[in-house]
Amino acid sequence: MPCQMRRIPLQGSDARTHISAGNDGYRSSPETQNAIRMKKTTQFFTRRTALYVLLGGAAIPLVSSALIPGPAPTRLDGSFLQIWKDDLKLSQTQWAEKVATLRALQCHDVVLQWTSFGDEYRMSDESVLAFMDLAYAAGLRVTVGLPYDHRYWKVLMGQEQIGLAPFMSEMAEAGARFISNTPYSSHPAFAGWYVPYEIDQYSWRKAEDRTHLKNYLLRLRDTLGTKGAPLSISTFFSQLEGAGYLTDVWSDVLDAGAIRLMVQDGVGVYGMVNYERLAPLFALLKQRNATFDLVLEVFTQLPGATAEDLRLVPAQFERVQAQLEAAARVAPARILAFAVYPYMAGADPKAQALGAAYDRAVLGPSHAMSFAGRALDKLRDI
């Protein structure tokens, strides 16, 4: 989607190719599901052993991750995790490294951004469950992203033949089938569902369009039932002229039922002033006594960004620290980074520096990521 339409997509719609190999359809046969469960049972303890070595022998309790107390609101509770084409080549050890890093940073909540991207790729049930096994062994919770249709932004801009109403209806049915037919919700690491369609006040400024959004969310809620897992969706403030207010959107849509908002702080592009623009939405959520999360952008967009080159680099820790302080004042249920990978960990030295600075200043000198780094060397010898 063009840069002028959005500040930056959480979906990361840059020039990189999205991943993964997977099923020919969302539904697995009973035989396939049984095979997956049997394989998962035998592999789980292998993965747990790998995580044990990876974490330097630290105890990994086999208890429900729901029993883990949430960290204080002045530090990160979790992170989004995007899966890219090259990730298909990652070994189990390399996936374990990612999980270990998230655990080392005490990011106990992981949001898988998506599990499929149109017809371009689909993660298999087995690959998602394998990741959830590792997460569970490390005491992490996983929110699973629904299938994403890359026509979304073009539909909103009127650049597709299909109209908004039939598109949202089609996506509602696809999401409902996915929720009903995939095995993730029975996994002990499962923490809920994430809707990968981001909402801004400019694209949804018309009341009749918001009706389609409400119907979409209601269809998903009906699938989950009254005791279903949490259903989350993210929102951001658009600075397009005539965009209106996020409260115009959410005062309507929150009536659709128990939807958990993930509010993007927008600081990576617009700076700390964006918290002022979000203030009316935070006030509305407080008035509604609504549970919400805050998505803290740990990147900086450099000048000269284009749709082909978003020019995103790891942020300076001083700014991230200011974001954490601002986030604490609005009292979200959780603070989720966007994203530990690739902006706080990975091959980029600047990302490593940000992760290390956060580790020292927020988690304390006794909680050094360098320990996790040494443990990784042990795991590579397995």
pLDDT in tens, 157-170: 999 999 999 999 99
pLDDT in tens, 129-139: 999 999 999 99
63 versus 194: which is more confidently predicted?
194
Per CATH, the architecture of 30-380 is what? Alpha-Beta Barrel (3.20)
Helices (H), ranges, the chain: 30-54, 92-104, 125-137, 152-156, 164-181, 207-224, 246-253, 267-270, 274-287, 317-330, 340-343, 349-358, 369-380
Contact 11, 110 (CB under 8 A): no
Average pLDDT over residues 68-84: 73
C-alpha Rg value of the chain to the nearest Å: 20
Question: What is the C-alpha separation between 359 and 277, in angstroms, rounded?
Answer: 30
CA-CA-CA-CA torsion for 326, 331, 333, 335, nearest 10 degrees? Answer: 10
Weakest mean pLDDT among 9-23, 30-44, 197-211, 245-259: 9-23
| Residue 281 burial (CB count, 10 A) | 22
- Residue 232's beta-bridge partner residues? 194, 260
Percentage above 70 pLDDT, the chain? 75
pLDDT in tens, 346-355: 999 999 999 9
In the predicted model, is pLDDT for residue 56 greater than 80? no
- What are the structural domain ranges in the chain? 30-380
In the predicted model, is pLDDT for residue 101 greater than 70? yes
Q: In which band, very low, low, confident or very high, does the pLDDT at 367 lie, cut at 50, 70 and 90?
A: low
Tokens of 36: 């997956």
In the predicted model, is pLDDT for residue 235 greater than 70? yes
Average pLDDT, the chain: 81
Tokens of 85: 């084409």
Q: In which band, very low, low, confident or very high, does the pLDDT at 373 lie, cut at 50, 70 and 90?
A: low
- Residue 122's beta-bridge partner residues? 116
Average pLDDT over residues 225-245: 88
Instruction: Say if residue 365 is preceded by a cis peptide, omega within 30 of 0.
Output: no
326 versus 8: which is more confidently predicted?
326
Give me the pLDDT at residue 253, please. 86
Average pLDDT over residues 218-237: 91
